[in-house]
Every structure is written in C-alpha cells, then in structure tokens.
Amino acid sequence: MKPANSILASSGTSVFEVMSRLAIEHRSINLGQGFPDGNGPEDVRAKAAHFLEDKPNQYPPMLGVPELRQAVAAHAKRFYGLEIDWEREVMVASGATEVLASCLFGLIEPGDEVVLLEPLYDSYLPIVRRAGAVPRLVRLAPPGWELPRDDLAAAFSAKTKLILLNSPMNPAAKLFTREELAFIAELVLRHDAYAVCDEVYEHLAFDGRTHIPLMTFPGMRRRCLKIGSAGKTFALTGWKVGYVTAAPELLQPIAKAHQFITFTTPPNLQRAVAYGLGKDDAYFRSLARELETKRDVFAKGLAEVGFDVLACHGTYFISADFRPLGFNGDDVEFCRHITTEAGVTAIPVSAFYEGAGPDHFVRFAFCKEDEVLRGALERLRRHFRRG
Ligand code: PMP
Ligand code: GLN
C-alpha cells in the first residue's frame, strides 16, 4: 500500500492524550492535560442550553454568528483599546487549534520560513510543516525562559513569512515583557513578516501583570493575527470555540482555509460565548485571582515535597525541577513513575521541544479544585517521604 502523509504519520499521539490515558489507567490524579475540573460558569452554560432550544440550529454564517464577532471586537476595544471592524476583521472557528491551522494554511506558501519559539504547543510544528513551511526554531530555556534576542534575530531572514508567538506562554508560564514584544515587533517589521499570536491565556496573568497583545505595538495592527479561545476564558475547554482578529486582507485567506476545514462552529456555543465576553470586568479579574491562589498553594506544596519550583506568571501551568528529589531518570520516566507509583500525573517539559530539550522539568496543571490539588500534594509527599 502507498504510504500516508509522512509528516503526520511520523507524529506520535499527542503527549496530552498519552498522559491522560495513562492517568485513567492508573486512577491517578491528572495534573497533566490542561483542563479545569470545574464545569465553567453556570450562566454561560445556561445560555448555551437556552440557545440549543432556540432557532436556528443549522449552519451559522461561515465567519461566525454576528453576536460573537461583535463581542470579540468589543472585548478587544474594552481590554486593549483596539478598534476592530467585526464584519471584516473577526472570524470564529472550532477552537484556537483550528484557528491556528487556518492561519497557517491560509498564509504559508511552500518554502516560506516560520519562526517558532520553543517550548511550543504540540500542534504548531506538524501544521507548519504540513503547510509546506520550513520551521526556524529558537529556544527559551528554564529556569528563566529569557528571550535569546541574538538567536531570534538570526532566525529571521528575507524568507520569513511569519513568527508564531504564544504569550502568556504554555508551558513556561511566561508573559513576554513590553521590551521583548517591542524587539519582536521590530524584527517583524524589518523582515516584512506577520505574527500569529496565540493569546488563549490572555486573561490568566498573575500578580498584577497584564497581557499585552503584540497587535497594539506600532506597525503591528495590520501584521498580527490575534487568537483567543473560549476554552480558557470561560474554563470550558471542551467547547472548542476560538476566534481570530486580523486586518481584512489577512483574514480573507484564513477564512478560505476555515471554510474547507470545518466551515462553521456550533451556533448555540457561539451565542453563549458572545454573552460571556460581555460579562463585567469583575468576572475577568476573578479568573486570574482564583488561579493565582491555587498557584500559591500548589507551588508551596511542591516546594515542601522537595521540587525546585519555577516562577509562574500566568496560564494554567507551573513547572518544577525534580532533581532535588534524587530521581534517577529523565522527565518522561519521572512522569511515568509518579503516575504509576505516586498516583499523580504531569507532563514532561521536553515534550514541548523538538529533539533533545531540557530533561529534568515537569509541568503540572493547577486549574483544579482545591481538594484535588491537596490530594495530589499529599500523594507526592507520601511517595517522596517528606513534609
Ligand atoms: N494554544 C495553546 C498555547 C494551548 O495551550 C492550547 C490548549 N488549550 C491551545 C492553543 C488550543 O486551544 P483550543 O482548545 O481552543 O483549541
Ligand atoms: N493545551 C492543553 C495543554 O497544554 C492541551 C490541549 C490538548 O490536549 N490538545 O495541556
């Protein structure tokens, strides 16, 4: 038989799926895959249920229902002062994952170069390659995750079509600073490139920090594609409602990709997300505040177990160095070990790098109920016999 596509055939099953299956098999507390264990805001779910009974339940407009596109534009104005034309500059798709794929398929020509920062979310590289681009990888490394400016500048060339930027960044829990973003914006301008900005964790920034979209920098308004996700903003990861904001000439080719991938996204969920994006500022503040408290409790507990815990400025994730625990093996082995022996599951940080990456850090998702976090810490404490 003829072989399947080699790029996709050579990708393994996603590390998130692998670790979640292992967690189920071993009845382990799953702090691997990044999903909250709550059920999302009740009022937003009630709206979705209502709109399911309400007409229409047929194909909505390809770009998304007007209410949600208007709400995305209003949200960009309210939080970032961006003036967005909802009719020509907003598109809804089935999760940020699909938005990312549509952006990459819509913009890349075979042979283009794409600059990516490691550690990176697992869908980026296969889709960049499947779209025919050559990836130029630049590494950020723990514990500080500083942006290596010289390496980044060297990765750009006349062939660079775009940079893919994730801030707040999974799994580094890093928010790119104003200075770092200005540096990136300058490179994008100098090389006449675009920036695909994965901002799914935009509201999950801690300790008074605020997320700054690259799109707000001089010269970036027409070069950035700004991506958000209801999964993260409403703690409803299973809904898969994502949205992108971009200048009309960029949105058009992206919409072409979307129309041939999924075409539309369930209309009741879109309308409920439109309602959600209109919630008052207190809702958005509480998202970060609740997670910040969980982070503090969990980070303290991990340190008491004996981990060297890294700083966490945003997202659902915190990473830690397990070497002080005396474990003899790499991060993949450590994650298997704590799943099967301690009953707690995490994700190896090396999974976010291509080829050999840092191999002694693991990522925990702390977007969980307090008693789940306490239970996980108790299991780790017992296993490593400390505290
Ligand atoms: N980008 C990043 C950085 C993520 O961590 C995730 C995972 N939630 C996504 C995109 C995908 O978001 P969605 O579930 O909306 O497809
Ligand atoms: N974004 C989630 C994480 O990083 C996982 C999403 C997925 O399972 N594809 O854990």
d(CA 189, CA 283): 36
- Pocket flag, ligand 2, residue 123 (CB < 6 Å): no
Residue 347 pLDDT: 97
- Pocket flag, ligand 2, residue 16 (CB < 6 Å): yes
pLDDT grade, residue 96 (50/70/90)? very high
In this predicted model, what pLDDT tens digit does every residue of 27-43 receive, in sequence order? 999 999 999 999 999 99
C-alpha of residue 94 to centroid of ligand 1, in Å: 11
In this predicted model, what pLDDT tens digit does every residue of 45-95 receive, in sequence order? 999 999 999 989 999 999 999 999 999 999 999 999 999 999 999 999 999
Whether pLDDT at 13 is above 50:
yes
Answering whether pTM is above 0.95, one says: yes
Of ligand 2's listed atoms, the one at least distance from the Cα of 122 is 9
CB 294 within 8 A of CB 302: no
Whether pLDDT at 152 is above 50:
yes
Whether omega for the bond prior to residue 41 falls within 30 degrees of 0, making it cis, is no
Whether pLDDT at 293 is above 80:
yes
Whether pLDDT at 130 is above 90:
yes
CB 386 within 8 A of CB 305: yes
pLDDT grade, residue 386 (50/70/90)? low
- Pocket flag, ligand 1, residue 28 (CB < 6 Å): no
Protein residue with least CA distance to atom 2, ligand 1: 121
Q: Choose the residue to mutate in 19, 33, 37, 125 for probing ligand 2, maximizing ligand atoms within 8 Å of C-beta.
A: 33
Of ligand 2's listed atoms, the one at least distance from the Cα of 347 is 10
pLDDT grade, residue 166 (50/70/90)? very high
| pLDDT averaged over every residue in the chain | 97
- Pocket flag, ligand 2, residue 229 (CB < 6 Å): no
More confident position, 12 or 198 = 198
Whether pLDDT at 6 is above 50:
yes
Residue 387 pLDDT: 44
